[in-house]
Amino acid sequence: MKNPLLEYPPLPAFTRIKPEHVEAAVDQVLTQNREAIATLLQQDEHSWESLIQPLEQIQDRLHKTWSPVSHLNSVMNNEALRDAHNACLPKLSQYATELGQNTALFQAYQRLHDSDTFSQLSQAQQKVINDALRDFRLSGVDLPETEKNRFKEIQQQLSTLKSQFSDNVLDATQAWSFHTEQESDLAGLPPSAIDMAAQTAQSRNQRGWVFNLEFPSYFAIMTYADRRELRQQIYKAYVTRASDQGPNAGQFDNSRIMQQILELRTQKAHLLGYANYAELSLATKMAPDTQSVLDFLSDLAKRSRPIAEQDLHQLQDFATQEMQLSSLEPWDIMYLSEKLRQKRYNVSQEDLKPYFPEPQVVQGMFAVVHKLYGLSIEERHDVDTWHEQVRFFDVKDPIGQLRGRFYMDLYARANKRGGAWMDECASRFKTKDGIQTPVAFITCNFTPPSGGKPALLTHSELTTLFHEFGHGLHHMLTQIDCMDASGINGVPWDAVELPSQFMENWCWEKESLNLIARHYESGEPLPDSLFDKLLQAKNFQSAMQMVRQLEFALFDFRLHLEFDPQQPDQIQNLLNQVRREVAVIRHSDYNRFQHGFSHIFAGGYAAGYYSYKWAEVLSADAFSKFEEDGIFNRDTGQAFLHSILEQGGSAEPMELFKQFRGREPSVDALLRHSGITA
Ligand code: ZN
């Protein structure tokens, strides 16, 4: 039997891939790749064609073997596949570490960089080489031997501590629950939340209802439960998880782990020649320096805070005047906000859904990109996929040239990972046989059609689809021929959400909704009255949400910038200080939000949480050009296509942005879109 993962067809043979193919294929490719790299490094002189191009083919071979496996593991999971998938993970990470620390490979890049031919390379090629050299240095490749060993030690300790941090949060989340058999405790909760609590009780062989600290349960209580003591109780348990406070104080305490993580990160930054971890984080990002990030966040905070205070005052007035509460406590905020939102904007997702049947929405989205970029999107029925719900499309430009292809898998089903994402199936680059066409996976988890009706999307699902398609266009429309700079490759973390958030804007304009929204029975467009309510509700409490995000971002960034192991209680003190400067909501003294802040302690957002807002500024400002010129202005569409989408990671994002906008980004559009300024 031939192994379909080793045949490298233009599109994966999904129906023929079986779990037993996985490990054998990965083993074989890794062996071949190691041998091929060793052979490449025996050359005395290196050129783009003799070094980088073959390396791209080597990487592409591994990607073609692994990408369908990792995709199937996400969307068609089963035990055998998961075992095969997981068995390969350590092998792949070992291979990646080896490459990053391969001194001979690093020196080959360096020689190419220093050679006469370097200046003759394209801007994209030069950037690929410069980025690679930077990444080699960031993985410690050119450190003296003793420091190299210390670096490896730090990396290992950090990875252990990060997983201990996550384990503590998980254990603390699972350790607390609230069991009740009193129906009065359920007052205010929607039926779906009550069902969920009954199921949780059943699964534990208990009568009545069980609430816990998993987000859907916590969220339902905080937003809807009329019983104030119940909200207070779950609030306290939630905000003290994995800390020295609350019902399980000290049991899963992350305090020491957080301190150790920060110490090790600081040591790592020093080894690599940076003054602190924030500087190290920025080495791979768009933001030029730490002061720019601080100024950026402080400026947004200064402008948003007065409006956030107004939001809070309105909530306080509502609490005293209409809800007869003498004080507004932290466990009242979500609950009262929901009541106020319902009172002001009586619009529910249920009212909107009939206007967003999936077939119309997808056609409408294609019509939007046809108007903007002249793209034609054609469905293909002759492509092998992993499920009957999956559709496949070719994207062609105005002269009929195939630019990209994508799989679209929109519906939730058993054994499919939750959430929505875009992933690369194949990247554009120049092979020895010509240009490889980029292929994308667009994955969502919408409610499937039932009862003879088409699937009806909520407005937020519509926005999600546009968001992921925006990432997809960035991946597919690139004209860059080097793999590490084509599409989303080589785009810094704080700029990569530009094309995706940018696309969301077409979900909020009447002119584009006329293409997207049609009542699934009557065929009517979205009525003006519903559209107006949708717009009004969009910015409810957006300034309060803005300062909350800024509080997280400033805390994360300053912590990694100012960390000093000698200072006692620095983490808590810094958080208190940031809150005094930025926050409008008062927190309880026992609040230990930071002990569960997995994004920065266990995930990849350390000194990078600001990226969310940074990219939002770029996308809002880019869209404001369309507000000025017309949201379907073809010239502006072409300019965005040529300056941003086609360029991928081939140049600094600031350069590309300026090319499109004619100036540096400004926060004005984001503040206006969020209703913070007029
Ligand atoms: Zn995204």
For residue 303, name the pLDDT band (cuts at 50, 70, 90).
very high
* Separation between Cα atoms, residue 369 and residue 469, nearest integer Å: 10
Distance 325 CA to ligand 1 centre (A): 40
pLDDT greater than 90 at residue 232: yes
- Over residues 471-498, the pLDDT tens digits come to 999 999 999 999 999 999 999 999 999 9
Angle at 638 between CA 632 and CA 643, to 5 degrees: 130
CA–centroid distance, residue 497 to ligand 1 (Å): 5
Residue with tokens 């095969």: 84
10 Å Cβ neighbour count for 9? 9
Residue 1 has pLDDT above 70, yes or no: no
**Average pLDDT of 353-357?**
95
pLDDT one-digit tens code per residue, 312-348:
999 999 999 999 998 999 999 999 999 998 888 887 7
- CA-CA distance, 666 to 8, in Å (whole number)? 45
Which tens digits make up the pLDDT trace of 117-135?
Answer: 999 999 999 999 999 999 9
Neighbouring C-beta atoms of residue 44, cutoff 10 Å? 5
Is 562 one of the catalytic residues? no
Parallel/antiparallel/unpaired status of strands 421-426 and 430-431: unpaired
Report CA(471)–ligand 1 centroid distance (Å). Answer: 7
Q: How many CB atoms lie within 10 A of CB 369?
A: 22
Q: What is the per-residue pLDDT for 215?
A: 86
- CA torsion 91-96-100-105 (nearest 10°) is 90
Q: Mutual orientation of helices 255-271 and 542-562 as an angle, nearest 10°?
A: 60
> Would you place residue 527 in the very low, low, confident or very high pLDDT band (cuts 50, 70, 90)?
very high
- Active-site residue (options: 56, 358, 424, 468): 468
Res 319: pLDDT: 95
Phi first, then psi, for residue 210 (nearest 5°) are -125, 125
If you measure from the C-alpha of residue 613 to the centroid of ligand 1, how many angstroms do you get, rounded to a whole number? Answer: 13
Q: In the structure encoding, which two tokens stand for residue 309, read together?
A: 């205070």
Q: Do the Cβ atoms of 490 and 650 come closer than 8 Å?
A: yes
| Residue 140 exposure: Cα atoms within 13 Å on the Cβ side | 19
Residue 178 has pLDDT above 70, yes or no: yes
Whole-number Å distance, alpha carbon 468 to ligand 1 midpoint, is: 6
Please count the other Cβ atoms lying within 10 Å of the Cβ belonging to residue 114. 8
How many residues in the chain?
Answer: 678
CB neighbourhood size of 611 (10 A): 23
Put residue 392 in one of left, alpha, beta given phi > 0 → left and psi -120 to 50 → alpha.
beta
3-state SS track over 234-256: HHHHHHCCCCCCCCCCCCCCCHH
CA 535 to chain centre: 25
**Rounded-to-integer distance, Cα 183 and Cα 486, Å:** 58
The residues that bridge with 422 in the sheet, in sequence order, are: 442
The reported pLDDT for the residue numbered 432 is: 87
| Strands 391-396 and 434-435, bridge-based pairing | unpaired
Buried/exposed code over 46-73 (b: 16+ C-beta within 10 A; e: otherwise): bebeebbbebbbbbbbbbbbbbbbbbbb
Compute the distance between CA of residue 621 and CA of residue 611 in angstroms, rounded to an integer: 15
Q: Name the residues around ion ligand 1, CB cutoff 5 A.
A: 500
Nearest to 641 by CA among 659, 628, 629: 659
Ligand 1 centroid from CA 500, angstroms: 6
pLDDT on residue 451:
84
Proportion of the chain above pLDDT 90, given as a percent: 90
Complete DSSP assignment for 422-484: EEEEE---EETTEEPPPEEEEEEEEPPP-TTSPPB--HHHHHHHHHHHHHHHHHHS----SGG
Q: How far is the CA of 169 from the centre of ligand 1 (A)?
A: 25
User: What is the DSSP pairing of strand 391-396 with strand 376-380?
Assistant: antiparallel
Residue among 244, 252, 250, 263 at smallest CA distance from 166: 252
The pLDDT tens digits of the residues spanning 152-175 come to 999 989 989 998 999 999 999 999
pTM summary value: 0.92
Q: Exposure of 295 by Cβ count < 10 A (0-12 exposed, 13-18 middle, 19+ buried)? A: exposed
Q: What is the Å distance from ligand 1's center to 140 Cα?
A: 30
Can you say whether the dihedral through the CA atoms of 354, 357, 363, 365 is positive or negative?
A: positive
Name 405's bridge partners: 394, 439
Ligand 1 centroid to residue 467 C-alpha, Å? 6
Checking if the pLDDT of 678 tops 90, the result is no
**pLDDT at residue number 479:** 98
